[in-house]
Amino acid sequence: MGGRYPGIRTPHRTTDKMLRWWLSQLILPTLLARYAFADVVNTASLKWTLTNTNGTIKIPSTGPPNQAHLDLLNAGIITEPLLGINDFTQRWLVTEDWTYTADISPFLKSSAFQQSKKTLLVFYGIDTIANITLAGQPVAWVNNQFRQYVFDVTHLLASPKNTELVVALESAWTYGLNFEYPGVRQWVRKVASDFGWDWGPAFVPSGVHKPAYFVTLTSPNGKKQTIGTPPVSPDVNGINTPSPVFIEENSVDIYKLGQSFSVAPSEGADWVVNVTLGVQSSTDFQSPSLTLAFSELGVSKTFKVSTIRTSPPDGLNWINAVWRIPDSVPKRWFPHNLGNPQLYNLTVTLDLPSGKNAVDSVSFDTRTGFRTIQLVQSPYTQEDVQTRGITPGDNWHFNVNGKPFYALGTNIIPFDPFYARTTTDQVKWVIESAVKSGQNMLRVWGGGTYQPSHPSVAGGVYDFYSLCDEMGILAWSELIFSDSLYPINDFLLESIEPEVRQNVRRVNRHPSNAQWAGGNEIEGIITTAAQTLQNGTHYLDEYVALFQDFLQPIVTSETRSVPYTDCSTTTGVLSLDPYQLRLRNATPGDIYGNGERYNYDASVAFDYSTFPVIRFMNEFGFHSMPSFYTWEEVLTSSSDFSFNSTVVMSRDHHPPAGNLAFPNPNAPQGQGQMTMAVEDWLPRPVDSLSNPNQTFAQWCYSTQVFHNLAMVAQVAWYRHGAGKGENNLGALVWQLNDIWQGVSWSSVEFSGRWKVLQYGLAGVFLPVTIYPFWTAQNETLEVLAISDRWEAVGGSAQLTWYDWKGNTLSSAKHTFTVPSLNNSVILQQTGLQTILPDGHNATEVWMLLNLTAKVDGRTVTNEQWFVPTSLANAKLEDPQISITRTNDLTFTLSAKGGVAAWAWMDHPSGTMGIFVDVNTGLPANGFFLVPGIDRTLRFEMNPTLSRVKNPRPEDFAFRSLWNNTHI
């Protein structure tokens, strides 16, 4: 239940473990007293224990939400799972069966229970295979981490055989081994990456990972109750008044009149606000009504709804109201870079008249918005082909509020290996990092979990979709299926259908939700299997049965406001009505669907002929090391701080081992790819016997510099495709966040520290950006201004050649106008000797590109750099850096010698935040520092995530590529 308790003071040195025990002994009676007249009781207020398979471990548990690893950590039996090689040494936890037991006697003695007419046991999430018993009697066996479960336990508590609530968890690993086919995760409705991925560990946690409650329903009493957005944890005030009903599910779907999965929204049509409640009740109500109101808009309406029963045929009362609001009444929600993410409070009031002329009332506010989002998959017309120069094929892009836009963003994975300890603060920083870097879309990867709406909605634990709503960032959502040939049988489908329905209903209210994709990468796997495996068409038939014929009707029956597509990477559709996938039914030369790209051959990292020409890129990436400071969080020995140390390599899971071998026998391949990338394109860090930590730090930084170079080149390529035949309108980088401290594709490290790429994205994701496209094969340089604005944009670009001492060799100014969603050529030259300044070769010079444009009444500036050869060959000069530091964490950087290529500021361990340019206010780090052109950066700290609240300015470090060879 949380909260502060006045009058209780704890000694500063009291440990968390001692404090939890003390509070449980002192405050438990107080908590239950607070709930004496309540109808929602958090089971975390009860006394819980955790035991292993044979009973040799029996420890206190803090109760839901929790997982076995976390309770063992709190008890001091294991150390932090993310330390060292604990992902290997703690594997014994995976094969154990863990049992959680709670003493429910305080609840049975409470007035809340004794005055109840009906008692529900609500689990918002169990991870994953569990047998539940209550009062010595069976409740249910469950096997799906992504479902909420509500059980009527009135009859069980009427004659209890004991006073225990028991959740007996079976190892998900051993459960999966019960099936005859190889592999485990496709048989278990659990976070797929819990079993390991190429960017994360395999802890396979188990527990009651979301809150659980007893809900007691009273007889009608004529009282009014205000609750939070259902399905609700304790209400907005922390205490509920008695009520005869509980809102188990809630859907708010806002769309245009006539809109459906196969019918595009008519932008001028009325809005439809479709509200559905799933209600549990202790009493029959013959004439209930539902009132909907947007007070900020001055509109409301009351609807008579269907009779509410104590025992409805399917176990839940479904009531529904469909309200039409003229298009002109609300303002629309937009992604932050295209407009204002306007939100409104919708007040929903359920009135329940009883025979005593009394009316029980339950009311809640929920935050929502009005927008249309469409996934356009229609064929391009002959006019598009002939007049606009579009390559034949199908559209594949999103429209928001009737307009096509460029989707700029990244992919997200789970925020922590243990869902139960994920916090809103850490997630908010990741989403803020996306917004600060100019992103307007995050893809919620299908191998993770359904992201929560808010901590208090359906036991969410932390916030996600509500944050996306507020910050104006779209969330491409996926059903949880990834990279497997999923079996089709009634046993599986019976569990999947309620899972999907519950999550679609819950997410409907969020205007940030952009679509539902059936899963991740499976279409390509399955079509390949159909061609290469014996009887492979069997697998293709099963795929069509699941993702076309089964999941699509479920999703589209629950929402009209967002599209469905079968897979994250898809060749699109032959038809939307009836829904028929294209699969391999393609016309040669035409372009369909979207795509992904992973190429680990660094020698062709900037060869545009290897880049896909595609309508939309939803995944592309390269891996890099986390920073030295992040390694400090988990490495426990000085000998570990080396690029190829056993512990560091054990955290490179690319390519995955495919078995339980430790350390990953394939790690040398992934390490080698990063090594070769650095050696091909950057000065190789020298081995320093006197300062090996600095060598390691430069290696970590160098892998990030290449990572940035490679990804920014691809983003620029896809963005410029908006003005080409492919009409590319999407680039989502793999990936944004990390799940632990290790080798990964992320642009933000596990602690929240920005990598070089995250700053690079802040530049290349600007509304108007400049980029030098160099084609080595024909020695052609093409400099483009690229815009994602809906209106034409004018501006100027300054192109300046320097030598590595910082001398200006030549400079030219160019003006440009970029049409809507297009690009404009600023410079085009062929022949290296023609391009280079007279008297200089490629190793001696580089070009600074500066762009200035007016966008939405404000000035946008962007800088990029062109080096006509590999930086490994460049004749770098000692930059002789001077730094002026102030106590407000402002740093003025000066190069007194030569140019500092990829100048980089590191903030010290324990601090979290970003560097911004004091002149532009934009994120700035990882740039070319030129003598005579000082840069002043301010460190904007996140005080919530920073353990060190007052870092010393002298603890902020500087590095550049010069330091690779001068350690």
Q: Tell me, what's the pLDDT at 314?
A: 87
Phi first, then psi: what are they for 391, rounded to 5°?
Answer: -65, 135
Q: Which of 719, 447, 757 is nearest to 623 (CA)?
A: 757
Q: SS3 for 852?
A: strand
The SS3 call for residue 541 is helix
Rounded Cα gap, residues 623 and 711, in angstroms: 10
Give residue 662's identity as a one-letter amino acid code: F
Segment holding 92, helix H or strand E:
helix 92-95
631 close to 752: Cβ distance less than 8 angstroms: no
* Of 68, 71, 79, nearest in space to 17 by CA: 71
Sheet holding 164-170, edge to edge: 58-61, 47-51, 98-103, 164-170, 129-134, 137-142
Average pLDDT of adjacent 10-residue blocks, the chain of 967 residues: 30 38 39 43 95 97 97 98 98 97 96 92 97 98 98 96 98 90 86 97 97 94 90 59 90 98 97 98 96 98 97 94 98 98 98 87 96 98 96 98 98 98 98 98 98 96 98 98 91 96 98 97 94 90 97 98 98 97 95 97 96 97 98 96 96 94 95 98 95 97 98 98 98 98 98 98 98 97 98 98 98 97 97 96 98 94 98 98 98 98 97 97 98 98 96 98 96
pLDDT for 11: 31
Give the residue carrying structure tokens 């309406």.
301
The length of the chain in residues reads 967
pLDDT at 231: 87
Residue 559 in contact with residue 253, Cβ under 8 Å?
A: yes
CA distances in angstroms from 887 to 321, 408, 423, 940, 954, listed in the order given: 58, 36, 30, 13, 9
Token pair belonging to 953: 């300015």
β-partners of residue 786 are 769, 823
How far apart CA 128 and CA 418 sit, in angstroms, is 13
Tokens of 632: 């400090």
- State the Cα–Cα distance between residues 220 and 284, nearest whole angstrom: 10
Please write the tens of the pLDDT for every residue from 583-628. 989 999 999 999 999 999 999 999 999 999 999 999 999 999 999 9
Provide CB contacts within 8 A for 184, sequence distance 6+.
Answer: 172, 173, 176, 177, 195
Taking the C-alpha atoms of residue 49 and residue 102, their distance in angstroms, rounded to an integer, is 7
Place of tokens 């699969």: 583
Torsion of CA 139, 145, 150, 154, to 10 degrees: 20
Give me 819's structure tokens.
């049409």
Is beta strand 513-517 parallel, antiparallel or unpaired with respect to 564-565? parallel
Output DSSP code: residue 501: H
279 with 317: CB under 8 angstroms? yes
Q: Which residues are catalytic?
A: 521
Looking at residue 179, its pLDDT comes to: 83
CB burial class (10 A; 0-12, 13-18, 19+) of residue 503? buried
